[in-house]
Amino acid sequence: MDLFNQYVVGNVDTVLANKYAGAAVGLFLAVYAGNAAPELPAELKELFNNEYFRVACLFFIAYLNTKNTSLSLITAVGFVVVMNQLSQEKTAETFIEFMNTSENFQNENEF
């Protein structure tokens, strides 16, 4: 068991010592967390729908890139995940609204 533990811990430490491998692990965790995340609160939805806030987020990510590339990459993935989630919600709402409208048109044609 000690040999297995030494082998696994040694290899994991070697992989995580590489900054690119550490960023890849962080990126994987951020993407997985984005899929497992609960729905955003209404306040955050309003913030991310604001153009100025989104531009400020992008400038922050660009600035963060000069300081810590790994953290910047993880933050960028988080930003994209949030924007994707908002886009999917808006698309679903639009589709439901369209379906309700098209049902009304079908009912009017029957008479």
The predicted-structure confidence for 29-53, as pLDDT tens digits, reads as follows 666 666 666 777 888 888 888 999 9
Residue 24 identity: A
pLDDT score of 107: 57
Tokens of 32: 């997985």
Could you report the per-residue pLDDT of 50-86, keeping only the tens digit for each?
Answer: 999 999 989 998 988 888 888 888 888 888 888 888 8
pTM for this prediction: 0.60
9: confidence class by pLDDT, cuts 50, 70, 90: low
Alpha helices in 37-68 (DSSP H): 42-49, 51-67
> What average pLDDT does range 1-8 have in this prediction?
63
Say how far apart CA 79 and CA 74 lie, in whole Å.
Answer: 9
